[in-house]
Structure formats: C-alpha cells, structure tokens
Amino acid sequence: MTSPANRLALIGVLSHLLLGASPAPAPGPAPAPAPRGEAALVTRVIDGDTLEVTLGGRREHVRLLGIDAPEKRTEERPAEPFEKEATALARRLARGRQVTLTTDPGHEDRDQYGRLLRYVYLPDGRCLNLELVCQGYARAYTRYRFTRQKEFRACEKGARAQGRGMWAPR
C-alpha cells in the first residue's frame, strides 16, 4: 500500500500530464544567470535571427550573434525551409520579454545594416542564440570568428546527431 505522500505526488504528476504539460525541451546547455549587459524589451521578432527591441528608450534591431537562421521570403528569393519554425521558436521564447544583450569581445558592435550584434539572454538565463542552434533551427555562423564559436558548433553537431529541427529526417 502506498503512503498518503506518495499518492499525493502521483496525483500531482498525473494532473500535470493530463492538463497539458509541454514536452521537455531538447537537451541543451543548462541555463546560467545572464551575464551583465544591457536590458532591453523584445517588441518584435523579425525572423529567426533578428529582433526588434526597445533599448534605452529607442528602437533598435538586433542581429543574434553567432547564428544563421533560415531566411524569410523576399522579392528576390523564396523563404528557406524551416524559416517559419525558426521565427516561431524565437517569438515564443523572446517576444514581449525583458532580455539582456551582451557583446562579444573583439567583435564589431553593428553589422553592415546597422543592426546591433549581440548575444540575447532570456529571463531564465538561457542564451537565445545558442538555444536556436541547440533546438536545430539555426546553424552556427562561422563566417566570422566569435568567442563562443566552439560551443555553438558543438551544439549544432548535437542537433544534427539527434535529428532536431531542420536536421530531422524527412
């Protein structure tokens, strides 16, 4: 016979499952406290690797440093596969949230389009950039060197090996 405490725990677990618990996230690096940086509010997710934020009372576009997510459709080209999923994941994780923006030492502050180049840390301490790579909805962008490149490449390798996101078997 089970104890009342065990029955209560079992009821809690079953209730959680029956009431629509979300599936466990794909394994990625354990969240850590967000490093010091600039506080910003994510007002819009433009695509999987570009956000619009309010920073210091002004609107800025932020390009997520170290990743390349599938591109949206333009007049010149069709949308890349998994663009909608990458954008949806970034939107679910970041839109409407207060985030912390950090720079990469030795990296440019802005890209050729005037967007801030930043790591974006979510309120729970996860790095949005890395999360998109670990979930399989962005690649590690290795055209330019960045401090966390080895970590991002390892995460992409894991997503590929586990068949997550765009790396899922078709």
Q: How buried is 26 (Cβ within 10 angstroms: 0-12 exposed, 13-18 middle, 19+ buried)?
A: middle
More confident residue, 13 or 170: 170
* CATH code: domain of residue 71: 2.40.50.90
Residue 26, domain member (yes or no): no
Residue 119, domain member (yes or no): yes
Question: Tokens 């923006």 correspond to what residue?
Answer: 101
Average confidence score pLDDT of the chain: 85
71 is catalytic: yes
DSSP 27: P
Query: How, if at all, do strands 38-47 and 98-102 pair?
Result: antiparallel
Q: Which is the catalytic residue, given 38, 52, 71, 85?
A: 71
Alpha-carbon span 23 to 13, nearest angstrom: 14
110 is catalytic: no
Residue 13, domain member (yes or no): no
Residue 19, domain member (yes or no): no
Residue 24, domain member (yes or no): no
Alpha-carbon span 124 to 143, nearest angstrom: 29
Residue 4, domain member (yes or no): no
Alpha-carbon span 55 to 86, nearest angstrom: 24
Alpha-carbon span 106 to 149, nearest angstrom: 13
63 is catalytic: yes
pTM for the whole structure: 0.79
Residue 116, domain member (yes or no): yes
Question: How many folded domains does the chain comprise?
Answer: 1
Residue 14, domain member (yes or no): no
CB 68 within 8 A of CB 93: no
Q: Give me the pLDDT at residue 79, please.
A: 81
At residue 52, does pLDDT exceed 60? yes
Q: Can you give the residue range of the structural domain that contains 57?
A: 32-165
